[in-house]
Amino acid sequence: MTEDEKTVAPEDLRQETADEAPEVAEHDRVAELEAELAESRSATLYARAEAQNLLRRAQKEAEDARTYAATGFARDILSVADNLARALAAIPEDLREDEKWKGLVVGLEATGRELDSVFGRHGISKIVALGETLDPNRHQAMMEMPSAEAEPGTIVQEIQSGYMIKDRLLRPALVGVAKKAD
C-alpha cells in the first residue's frame, strides 16, 4: 500500500465504489431523493400550518372589526348622552310639572331612553360605579373623599359615567373614592 492509498477520503472511496457498482450509486440516489421528499413534506406541512394560522388571524381581525366598528362613533356620541343627562338633571321640579314645559321634558326623557336603547342594541353599556369597589380597569379615581360610612376604596361619587362596548372599555367612569375619615 502506498502513501496515496492510505490518505484516500471515505467520500472518494465511496465514489470509486459507486463508479464500479451501479447499484451503490442507485442506492445513494434513492437515499438522496427520500431525504428531499421528507424535506419537501416538512416544508409543505409548515406552509399549511402557517396558512391556517393566517386564515384564523384574518377571521379574528375581521370579527373584531365588525364587533368594534362603532367604537370611534360611540366615543363621540357619549358626549351627547352626557349633555342630555345634564340637561334633564338641570330641569327644576316645578318646571317639570308646568304644562308649558311638560312636553319638552317628556320629549327629552324619551330621547334619553331611545339613546340608551340604541346603545344597548350595539353592545354599549353603562358601567355601574356608585357603591362599587374601585376597579382601575373600569374606573378612574379623580379625588378621594373622607367618609365614615363607606369603606376606603369604595366609590362614593360618580363625576362622569363610564361605558363598555361588549367586553372592552369604551370610557372609564370618573369617580370620587372614599378614604378613611380624619
C-alpha to C-alpha distance for 52 and 148, rounded to whole angstroms: 59
Confidence class of residue 160 from pLDDT cuts 50, 70 and 90? very high
In this prediction, residues 2-26 reach a mean pLDDT of 64
In this prediction, residues 112-138 reach a mean pLDDT of 92
Tens of pLDDT, residues 43-66: 999 999 999 999 999 999 998 888
Whole-number pLDDT of residue 2: 52
- pLDDT-wise least confident of 3-17, 30-44, 100-114: 3-17
In this prediction, residues 56-79 reach a mean pLDDT of 88
In this prediction, residues 24-42 reach a mean pLDDT of 87
Given a contact cutoff of 8 angstroms between Cβ atoms, the answer to whether 163 and 138 are in contact is no
Take residue 23 and report the three cell numbers written for it.
447499484
Decide if pLDDT at 159 tops 60: yes
In this prediction, residues 102-115 reach a mean pLDDT of 92
In this prediction, residues 22-40 reach a mean pLDDT of 84
Query: Between 20 and 44, where is the model more confident?
Result: 44
Helix, strand and coil content of the chain, in percent to the nearest 5, comes to 60, 20, 20
C-alpha to C-alpha distance for 82 and 87, rounded to whole angstroms: 9
Decide if pLDDT at 18 tops 70: no
Whole-number pLDDT of residue 60: 92
Whole-number pLDDT of residue 64: 83
C-alpha to C-alpha distance for 90 and 49, rounded to whole angstroms: 61
What's the pTM value of the predicted model, to 2 decimals? 0.65
